[in-house]
Amino acid sequence: YLIALLYGSYYVVGHLIGKFPSSSDFAVQFLIMPEGFYLLGRFMNALAMILAFLVFYKTLRFLVKPLLSFLLTLLLMFSLHVFEFTFWMVPDAVLLLGSVIVFHYMVKNYFRNLKWTEIVAASLICGLTISTKYNAGFLAPAWLLALILKENFSGKQRIKRLLISGGIVLAGFLMGTPYWLIEFSEFKSGFYMITSQARFSYNIQAGIPYFWEISDLIRTEWLLGILMLGVLLAYFYRLNKLLLPFFLVTLATFLYAGSWEKKGWDYLLVLYPGLLISLAWWLKEVSENRLVKRALLSLIIFSLVLNIPRVLYQNFLHTRQDTRQLASAWIMENIPAGSSICYDHYHYDLNLIDIGRYTEYGEGSRLLSDKLKEKLEIFRDSPRNYRFISAQKDLDMPRIENIALLEEVKSDTFLWQVYTHPHKTLAEIETDSAQILILNSLTVRKFLENQPPPGQNPLREDFLNRRNFYEKVIKALE
């Protein structure tokens, strides 16, 4: 909804200055020349992260002095995981901002009495943050726990705070997810689909639950990862009314998202601000012990020394042409425009277009107006125009011989989607008259280097079929 609001504002301003005389002109730019839209999305991400760092610093000031607050904020800013997953136009930056704001009020609630306006604001933001990405769901019980742990309130006052705040959290969630009320059956179906995807799907990363998350944290963040694990273990040494809500959201998120077959630290980003705020509390606690304090301070400084150059280097790499741009330029130079291309992974878009997908076939041909199609036809002779052929079939019924697996697939929306859109064979791609097949190296590695999912995973058969496809492609190239 934030992106829609941003794009809507872009259209209004563009219309007023004559850039978009009509809505169809706006749509043409979105479909054919989307660079401006990506830039706006990145701008929103950058703004969200700047605000998150400012709020995070302000939160730390309740616990430690300005210098330590600044250093801990730098730890968050120069985390490899935080940089990687908030760089792109994805929900993680907004999720991190919302989480940091809720954490801010959790800490402030511990040291001071919150005003009702602050409780309402934090509860609303908590609900909106969860609607942004559902793996932030444990923010809600942590926030409510922080409220009822406040000592200078009677039992009735605590119940009142709990009920009102819980209601506002729900209201915030519904504001960000209104179709929960409008089309609950569709929401439920979609929610079951993403839950099933998290349980059964597989990324380029694969490994043993929890062990993969820990090893990837250390492998990626180095000393910062070890420091964060130390804070996590410290929860089991001592908890108080400030740390308990952070322990809840951190451990619950880790146990839940870490159990998924689909791996990725983007599902666990909320751990970063939570653990670093807890680290600030420990620094406050050991302030009288100079030896321990200096040791922790040294770890923080060495973590920054190791991470800052790596993040800056990654940022530098993002300023260079990426492989999508290089591949697009090579195709336009070596493959005649209008040729048929089978692109194995649409997630990584090339800087090419397929006008026919909008005017003749595909969802666009059924949804777009005739006026818009006419404007798109102008680009038919563009050197960027190619005919893209899907690498997936479109079946009415899964072709599965195993009866038990077929019944499981029928009962699961995500599995049904996978097995009714299986990957084509090489022969089927050739039958579709594809003149060139483009593969994504990450996808190929995922299926050739990773171990197949365990036998009880219903996607094991699909994984083995995909592996067989890539093995045949490589053999054909030898």
Q: What is the pLDDT of residues 188-232, one digit of tens each?
A: 888 888 888 888 887 656 678 899 999 999 999 999 999 999 999
Residue 1 placed within a domain:
no
Q: In this structure, are 364 and 308 located in the same domain? A: no
Q: In this structure, are 92 and 225 located in the same domain? A: yes
For residue 263, what pLDDT band results from cuts at 50, 70 and 90?
Answer: confident
Lowest mean pLDDT across 16-30, 119-133, 342-356? 342-356
Q: In this structure, are 353 and 231 located in the same domain? A: no
How much is the pLDDT for 324? Answer: 83
pLDDT at 452 over 80: yes
Number of domains composing the chain? 2
Lowest mean pLDDT across 34-38, 71-75, 254-258? 34-38
Considering only residues 1 and 245, tell me which one the structure prediction assigns the higher pLDDT. 245
Domain end residue (candidates: 317, 339, 359): 317
Q: In this structure, are 311 and 327 located in the same domain? A: no
CA 404 remoteness from chain centre:
33
Amino acid at 193: M
For residue 347, what pLDDT band results from cuts at 50, 70 and 90?
Answer: low
Lowest mean pLDDT across 141-155, 200-214, 325-339? 200-214
The whole-number average pLDDT for the span 347-362 is 83
Q: In this structure, are 277 and 343 located in the same domain? A: no
| Contact in structure between 437 and 472 (CB atoms under 8 Å) | no
Residues ≥6 apart with Cβ < 8 Å to 192: 412, 413, 414
| Contact in structure between 150 and 116 (CB atoms under 8 Å) | no
By the 10 Å C-beta count (0-12 exposed, 13-18 middle, 19+ buried), 447 is classed as buried
| Token pair in block for residue 28 | 């043409």
The top-scoring range by mean pLDDT among 166-175, 364-373, 408-417 is 166-175
Q: In this structure, are 350 and 306 located in the same domain? A: no
Q: List the Cα angle 342/343/348 in 5-degree steps.
A: 170
pLDDT above 90 covers a percentage of the chain that reads 71
Neighbours of 349 (CB within 10 A): 12
Residues ≥6 apart with Cβ < 8 Å to 72: 56, 60, 64, 276, 279, 280, 300
pLDDT at 468 over 90: yes
Report the mean per-residue pLDDT for the chain. Answer: 92
> Closest Cα partner for 243 from 442, 68, 438, 103?
103
How much is the pLDDT for 380? Answer: 94
How much is the pLDDT for 30? Answer: 93
If you search the block for the tokens 């705040």, which residue do you land on? 165
Domain end residue (candidates: 317, 350, 381): 317
Q: In this structure, are 221 and 362 located in the same domain? A: no
Q: In this structure, are 99 and 44 located in the same domain? A: yes
For residue 346, what pLDDT band results from cuts at 50, 70 and 90?
Answer: low
Specify the pairing of strand 436-438 against strand 340-343: parallel
Q: In this structure, are 50 and 91 located in the same domain? A: yes
How much is the pLDDT for 348? Answer: 59
Amino acid at 47: L
Residue 355 placed within a domain:
yes
Measure Cα distances from 383 to 27, 326, 334, 365 in Å: 20, 15, 11, 21
The domain in which residue 280 lies consists of 34-317
If you search the block for the tokens 């989607």, which residue do you land on? 417
CA 90 remoteness from chain centre:
6
C-alpha count within 13 angstroms, C-beta hemisphere, residue 32 = 22
The whole-number average pLDDT for the span 134-152 is 93
How much is the pLDDT for 2? Answer: 86
Domain end residue (candidates: 290, 317, 344): 317
How much is the pLDDT for 203? Answer: 64
